[in-house]
Chains A and B, each alone.
Chain A
Amino acid sequence: MANKNTDKFDNKQHTDLNLQLNSKLGINDFDKMMDDTFEETTDDVDRNDEEDVDQKQAATIPDAAETSELSPTNLEIPEIISKNELIENATRAKIRTIISKQEQVLEIKEENLNKLMADFDLHTRKRKLTKKALKKAKELKLGTDKMDLIKMDLKQTKEMLKSCKARVEQEESDIKNQRRLIGLLETIL
């Protein structure tokens, strides 16, 4: 309702008034006129709103006879409570299902992390072994070709180790977030 009334005073009227009055009145007079117009409009709006509310109340508040018909009986109240409980239980069940699925995801992620950690351990061992071999190869003064093979192996091992470390960190962060999510879902229950 308020919008309807205020919309009446649209931009076109505003411009017309502006043009008509600017020549006759000073700017302050114009502003005063604008304020008065606005107050009148809002008064109308408030009045109209009050009328609406009264009408609505009249429509919704039944008379005494009607009230006794519409209010739930003693038998209906437990039924309503029971329905509400059912809705609540269904909601809880849904949340539990979501939690259970999230826990499965978490389990898979934890398994992945364990594999990655084992992988990381293996890469670390490989790097140690290759470093020791390179040292021994230098002592034995092995040929350039063999030294190059060991160096290439060491380089690749370091790259694998670096990539594995990044994957471990990512998985750890994912697991942390996953646990937080499960925790939040549990608070809803």
Chain B
Amino acid sequence: MTSPHFEKNKAFYEFLETQFQLFKGNLMVTKASKDEEAIHQMRVAIKRIKTIQKLKKNISVSVEIPQYVNDAIKTAFRSAGKLRDLQIHMNLLHHFQKEIKTAFREFDEHLKNVATELNQLIDSTIHHIDFSGNDELPLLPDKGYENDIIKECIDFVERKIIKIHQLILLIQNEEKVHELRKQIKQLFFILQFLSEQIPDNLFYGYEMKPLKRLTDAIGNWNDLDFFGQRLERFIQQQQTGFAGKFPEYMILKYFTEHEKQKYLEDIDVDIYLEMINLQDILKKRNPSPPATLNNQNIVLEKAMNY
């Protein structure tokens, strides 16, 4: 007799298999053209696989990701990540060129040089990844489905909500914003899986748009943060007197910081309200108040230790 949890494990397996195929497809496009969207989609697929890997520490998913896939993911993620960041920075510079009506030729030239170097690096790393003959993940085993993985996934969601509640209190610290971004992204991926893949669970049909909007806003903040860091490094690498000779770079720095902060305006309130929305859904599982609100001490103590 098949375990009642088999179907859920199968859904998990299929989700992972889909992400694996998406990763492979976009990897091929990246190899061929280094298309911006393909690089982005390849990284999204990798992040989803990584979330599942993270979940595996907390839930008993019967899917083993082979070592060669893990190695390929690591290499592709690292190299493509650098190129993706650079593409974003070039787009941001283009945006600021229009906004400030200045060419920033020196920085533009610098980014183009980095792009050439990175393309060469990707050629020497991603091109070595080859899946020929290993196009599928290993099949699901027949036995071993005693645990309710959906319950475990929902417990995982609850833990993420607690972490996010802690981190929004520390939003004035930029390091914590990066941590918050990662936590929200993980929550986003697991909710995306629960809301779309498995019909009989609390989050099935959950409206992803508000969380997507928050993920994007905090992602944009992150892009501008890295752009600002790259700009700062570039200015420091220039000869003495560069800032005096090209004062427009100070304006660029100011615009970057200003725009960056705009993305964080009241984002804590919006995230808080979305967490309340999720807690309201969790109440259906457990009529008593959600752990986050029921145990403020834990929430705040952990926030202190962050």
Residue positions of A touching B, CB distance < 8 A: 115, 118-119, 122-123, 125-126, 129-130, 132-133, 136-137, 140, 142-143, 145-146, 149-150, 152-153, 156-157, 160
Contact = CB atoms under 8 A, between A and B. Distances in A.
Q: Which 4 A-B pairs have the closest CB atoms?
A: A133-B272, A132-B269, A133-B269, A156-B296
Interface string B21-51: 0000000000000000000000000000000
B268 interface: yes
B54 to A, nearest CB: 27
B293 A123 contact: no
Contacts of A125: 169
Main secondary structure of the interface of B (DSSP, over half): helix
A129 B168 contact: yes
B277 interface: yes
A136 B293 contact: no
B276 A146 contact: yes
A126 B293 CA distance: 12
B86 to A, nearest CB: 36
Interface of B: 168-169, 266, 268-269, 272-273, 276-277, 279-280, 283, 289-290, 293, 296-297, 300, 303-304
Choose among A132, A153, A157 the residue with the greatest number of B CB atoms under 10 Å from its CB: A153
Choose among A129, A132, A142 the residue with the greatest number of B CB atoms under 10 Å from its CB: A129
23 contacts: A119-B304, A122-B169, A122-B303, A122-B304, A123-B300, A126-B169, A129-B169, A129-B268, A129-B269, A129-B272, A132-B269, A133-B269, A133-B273, A140-B273, A143-B280, A146-B276, A146-B280, A149-B293, A150-B276, A152-B289, A153-B293, A156-B293, A160-B296
Contact of B300 (A122, A136, A146): A122
B226 to A, nearest CB: 27
A145 B277 CA distance: 9
Given A125-B169, A152-B289, A160-B296, A146 B269 contact: no
B276 A149 contact: yes
Nearest to A157: B296
A149 B279 contact: yes
B282 to A, nearest CB: 10
Contacts of B303: 122
Contacts of B300: 119, 122-123, 126, 160
A49 B290 CA distance: 87
B175 to A, nearest CB: 16
A130 B168 CA distance: 11
Contacts of B273: 133, 136-137, 140, 142, 146
A26 to B, nearest CB: 85
A152 B293 contact: yes
Contacts of A123: 300
Contacts of A115: 304
B265 to A, nearest CB: 12
Nearest to B272: A133
Contact of B283 (A132, A133, A140, A145): A145
A53 B192 CA distance: 104
A130 B268 CA distance: 10
Contacts of A132: 266, 269
A145 B296 contact: no
A122 B167 CA distance: 11
Nearest to A126: B169
Given A126-B169, A137-B276, 5 more contacts: A129-B269, A132-B269, A133-B276, A136-B269, A149-B283
Nearest to B297: A160
Contacts of B272: 129-130, 133
Contacts of A119: 300, 304
Contacts of A137: 273, 276
A95 to B, nearest CB: 38
Nearest to A142: B273
